[in-house]
Amino acid sequence: MTLEEKLGQLTQLVPDQPEFAPALEKGLVGSILNSGGVEQVNQMQRGLKVPLLVGYDVIHGYRTIFPIPLAIASSWDPQLAELSAGVAAKEARAAGIHWTFAPMVDIARDARWGRIAEGAGEDPVLGSAMAAAYVRGFQSNGVLACAKHYAAYGAAEAGRDYNTVEISERTLREIYLPPFRSAVDAGVATLMSAFESLNGVPASANHHLLTDILRKEWKFKGFVVGDWEAVAELIHHGIAASNQEAAKKAITAGVDMDMRDNSYSTLAAAVRKGELSPAVVDRAVRRVLRIKDQAGLLDHPTSNESDALSLDRDAARRVAQRSMVLLKNDNDLLPLPKSGRKIAVVGPLADSKHDMLGPWSAQGKAEECVTVREVIRDSVAVDDADVIIAVLGETREMSGEAASRASIDLPGDQEKFLESLVATGKPVVLVVMSGRPLAISWAAAHVPAIVQAWFLGTESGHALADVLFGDVNPSGKLPVTIPRATGQVPIYYNHLPTGRPPDPKDKYTSKYLDTEIGPLYPFGFGLTYTKFEYSDIRVTPQAASATIKNAGNREGEEIVQMYIGDPVASVSRPVKELKGFQRVALQPGESKRVEFTITRHDLEFWSDHGWIAEPGEFKVWIGPSSASGLEGTFQLH
């Protein structure tokens, strides 16, 4: 290949940008983002020396739209994440797509950040399990995965998208990097570098992230693509004065492919002037070609033009059923009886097909979505109802990229509307649809039943009805902390202790004057229609176990969680950290002993000398959430 052709392999363009057609004709483009379908892709591929890699944002479905990733994380079931990715991959591959820009594995502790919807929440252990599952689901069904946004993009200051990030190396290693490492260990083909600057160095020119950690420590063999125009944006970051200078810094740091801005085309002059080693270009080209070969593109550049796959409504419904979290159920208002009570289904999201899809809905079609009101066909007026189902929350445009919110309250006048429903004296079931946890303190105090439904996708209405009427016993748990007020964020369970722990009786302790201590609902919390009891915790340095009993009168599933804390160490450690979880199905009256293995890695933290575990006492909790459970201890010698 000529130098220009090599740089073409490192360039991703969009078919509708002016420079695309002439670049394609000259063989100076290696990848495209978005396409017009398999026939158009095949037409582009014919006659090319090296085939195009076709990428697309397949985030939570392609034609069949699954719940948003934050909702799927609420299932605490990596197999469901893998299932959803597998269905999406098959549909995307049938459309000529080779590569998805997913999973997003950014840890998010600030609900103001709109892209919290696209990830697995605030915890690195849960996030790592989900990251690996998505990679397996996509790549075992013919579509290359891309773990993004590397790294710490979810820590944007004040939750404002694209904003700067300042965190310690310890926080980076312990909180934000583990899901990326999990994706790499699962064999992810590509990573995407992030938009933000990390400790003053933009992620898309960050040698420490892209080479020292990713390549040298983790031995990653795939390639890194920059996010949309992230290379050119190095100029706005203030570390480059031109596209060529930005391109030199990005490719030298370890960004192998440039998305959309065509900056890498300027590198030919830099190489010829001796300002950039040809070996740097060749290294990136080898990485890209290796992945194209892995995808089978070099031998089979065109795709089968068979009929598109039909929607997999069954899979979408099954995943959605497990992606909801029952937050409150006073006096067992839920499940509702299937007959004998008149029901009013109200609220701006009760019949909004468009919003059911959630952000990043690929080729999903609103008209194919099923809403709550469609399923509960005999909905009556509020005045005539025995019970009210209020479907409130965010529109789909309120979360996702470039959708940060300064307030995470119910939007507009929805709380006033909810207050008017409660004032009728009739029982109200609040269904919250959103791409982030919302501060619903008034509702938590006044509404008897609350279901956090997120955005559930194509089968929203059916899945919700399955839960509301008891065909499915809800089992989801929160993958994020729900705050009492926006002013509490960022709020997360695995925080460091403070020298003045909050005490409502002592003014001079760490708390707010105008809201109660702690979250509204803690990480890991979620109710079911039955009751689970925990007993007999046993702890050794190698394992911990407890007995779980279904003490209710319905079969159900409990997500049993194990947390570990290091109360005395050479550095301040989080009050507790999730280290394991298991889903357990139990019949009424049935008990089961649940055991977790404890490894040395579970006890380690990042230090100036790498990962270390210090001797001393460790606390272990096994329970239904981060805020409750049985406690035991062991000594590490």
- Kindly give, in sequence order, each residue whose CB lies less than 8 Å from that of residue 262, ignoring residues fewer than 6 positions away: 11, 13, 19, 23
Q: Which helix (H) or strand (E) holds 82?
A: helix 78-94
The Cα 614–Cα 225 span in angstroms is 38
Active-site option among 77, 106, 227, 566? 227
Kindly tell me the number of DSSP H helices and DSSP E strands found in the chain.
Answer: 19, 24
For 384, list phi and psi in degrees, rounded to 5.
Answer: -95, -5
467-477: burial string, b at 16+ Cβ within 10 Å, e else: bbbbebbbbbb
The Cα 628–Cα 238 span in angstroms is 47
DSSP 424-435: TTS-EEEEEE-S
The Cα 288–Cα 10 span in angstroms is 7
Instruction: Please state the separation of Cα 79 from the chain's center in Å.
Output: 15
- Kindly give, in sequence order, each residue whose CB lies less than 8 Å from that of residue 40, ignoring residues fewer than 6 positions away: 15, 96
The Cα 343–Cα 327 span in angstroms is 21
- Kindly give, in sequence order, each residue whose CB lies less than 8 Å from that of residue 250, ignoring residues fewer than 6 positions away: 193, 204, 205, 226, 230, 231, 234, 258, 263
At 51, is the secondary structure helix, strand, or coil? coil
The Cα 193–Cα 206 span in angstroms is 9
Residue that the structure tokens 């999730």 belong to: 578
Residue 355 is among the residues annotated as catalytic for this protein: no
Q: By the 8 A CB rule, do 624 and 534 touch?
A: yes
Q: DSSP state, 487?
A: G
Q: Which helix (H) or strand (E) holds 138?
A: helix 124-139
The Cα 589–Cα 591 span in angstroms is 7
Q: By the 8 A CB rule, do 42 and 303 touch?
A: yes
Residue that the structure tokens 């830099």 belong to: 270
The Cα 238–Cα 240 span in angstroms is 6
At 631, is the secondary structure helix, strand, or coil? strand
Instruction: Output the six-digit token pair for 411.
Output: 């939007």
At 621, is the secondary structure helix, strand, or coil? strand
Bridge partners (DSSP) of residue 242 are none
Of the candidates 148, 172, 631, the one whose C-alpha atom is nearest the C-alpha of residue 360 is 148
Of the candidates 211, 210, 266, the one whose C-alpha atom is nearest the C-alpha of residue 241 is 266
R_g of the chain computed on alpha carbons: 25
The Cα 607–Cα 287 span in angstroms is 32
∠ CA(152), CA(153), CA(154), 5° rounding? 90
Antiparallel, parallel or unpaired: β 223-226 and 543-550: unpaired
Catalytically active residues, by annotation: 227
